[in-house]
């Protein structure tokens, strides 16, 4: 898995204007397509996805001609496409999920894209750690609601079913540790929730796990709670592998914040009440 991701980055090329791109023919081989013609349908779907996202297709898919060797020192022109990183993401998302390299790539690109979104979000970067935690925790809370709905469609029906389903995701992401083991590792009381005692980096990893599991369950129309559990486990593992590939710290090794999310929320509420009281006093005095 790690070698595949490194191979993708190693095949990055730089155009004369300094922009990065990848060859569609090279990418097709990396994604285990035996012949380029079999890759054409994937490229077509990726172009449509780009167009539907209100992006300029020509900015991400540039048709070119390249010379390839045909033997005895001779070469001939063939069609190729210069793909932007975003185009590569769309190609992988529209590839055959039955191919292990495609399934792994879908998680890799989703995580990379989300990381880049956060990195490019100036407002998010300016937030303090506690504010990032509150933002990500709220986002995770909303996505978990959606994950519950999609998991129910897959056959995860009872509270016990969902607890088992969630444990599979944690075990994949945390190297085999289930919810109870993570709880113990953080030194939490029984009444304390582990998601409320995570830093922004750990919350982001769990957000990736939740969103990608929801998307895969929906996209692959997964049916049966055992199958759903396996999907959650595999997505957790792939997110973990991606963190490793990027040189990140494993989630179980990240520090536990001193303040819980509930304590942060209580502090913010006090600040809001103080500001409201001050404003009321000011208006009254006027």
What integer pLDDT is reported at residue 285 of this predicted model?
A: 43
What integer pLDDT is reported at residue 277 of this predicted model?
A: 42
Measured CA angle at 196 (ends 217, 215), to 5 deg: 10
pLDDT class for 155, splitting at 50, 70, 90?
A: very high
- 228-263, pLDDT tens digit by residue? 999 999 999 999 988 888 888 999 999 999 899 988
- 62-98, pLDDT tens digit by residue? 999 887 777 777 778 889 999 998 898 889 888 877 7
Q: Which residues make Cβ contacts (< 8 Å) with residue 189, sequence separation at least 6?
A: none
pLDDT class for 125, splitting at 50, 70, 90?
A: low
Ranges 137-151, 172-186, 270-284: which has the least confidence = 270-284
What integer pLDDT is reported at residue 115 of this predicted model?
A: 62
What integer pLDDT is reported at residue 1 of this predicted model?
A: 44
pLDDT of 136 higher than 50: yes
Long-range contacts of the stretch 94-103 (C-beta < 8 A, 24+): 94/42, 94/45, 94/46, 94/49, 95/31, 95/42, 96/42, 97/216, 97/219, 97/220, 99/31, 99/32, 101/4, 101/30, 101/31, 101/32, 102/31, 102/32, 103/234, 103/238
Do the beta carbons of residue 25 and residue 36 sit within 8 Å?
A: yes
Of 7, 191, 219, nearest in space to 94 by CA? 219
What integer pLDDT is reported at residue 246 of this predicted model?
A: 80
Look over the chain and give the mean of its residue pLDDT values, rounded to a whole number.
83
What integer pLDDT is reported at residue 192 of this predicted model?
A: 92
What integer pLDDT is reported at residue 69 of this predicted model?
A: 75
What integer pLDDT is reported at residue 135 of this predicted model?
A: 86
Task: Give the domain ranges of the chain.
Answer: 2-89, 102-259
Mean pLDDT of 168-179: 96
Alpha helix ranges (H) inside the chain: 2-10, 24-30, 36-52, 57-60, 85-93, 100-120, 122-126, 129-154, 159-173, 179-185, 200-219, 225-245, 261-285
Q: Which residues make Cβ contacts (< 8 Å) with residue 57, sequence separation at least 6?
A: 47, 50, 51
What integer pLDDT is reported at residue 93 of this predicted model?
A: 83
């Amino acid at each position: 898995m790690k070698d595949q991701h490194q191979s993708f980055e190693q095949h990055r090329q730089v155009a004369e204007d300094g922009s990065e791109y990848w060859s569609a023919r090279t990418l097709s081989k990396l994604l285990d397509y035996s012949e380029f013609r079999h890759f054409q349908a994937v490229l077509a779907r990726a172009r449509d996805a780009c167009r539907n996202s209100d992006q300029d297709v020509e900015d991400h898919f540039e048709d070119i001609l390249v010379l390839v060797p045909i033997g005895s020192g001779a070469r001939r022109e063939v069609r190729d496409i210069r793909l932007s990183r975003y185009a590569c993401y769309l190609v992988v998302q529209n590839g055959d999920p039955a191919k292990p390299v495609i399934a792994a790539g879908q998680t890799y690109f989703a995580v990379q894209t989300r990381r880049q979104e956060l990195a490019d979000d100036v407002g998010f970067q300016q937030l303090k750690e506690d504010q990032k935690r509150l933002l990500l925790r709220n986002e995770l809370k909303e996505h978990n609601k959606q994950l519950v709905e999609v998991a129910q469609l897959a056959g995860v029906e009872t509270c016990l079913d969902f607890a088992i389903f969630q444990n599979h995701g944690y075990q994949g992401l945390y190297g085999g540790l289930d919810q109870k083991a993570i709880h113990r590792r953080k030194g939490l009381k029984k009444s304390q929730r582990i998601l409320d005692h995570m830093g922004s980096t750990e919350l982001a990893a769990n957000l990736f796990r939740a969103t990608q599991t929801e998307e895969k369950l929906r996209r692959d129309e997964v049916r049966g709670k055992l199958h759903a559990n396996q999907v959650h486990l595999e997505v957790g593992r792939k997110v973990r592998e991606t963190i490793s590939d990027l040189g990140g710290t494993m989630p179980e090794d990240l520090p536990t914040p001193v303040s819980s999310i509930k304590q942060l929320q209580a502090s913010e509420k006090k600040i809001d009440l103080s500001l409201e009281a001050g404003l009321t006093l000011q208006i009254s005095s006027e």
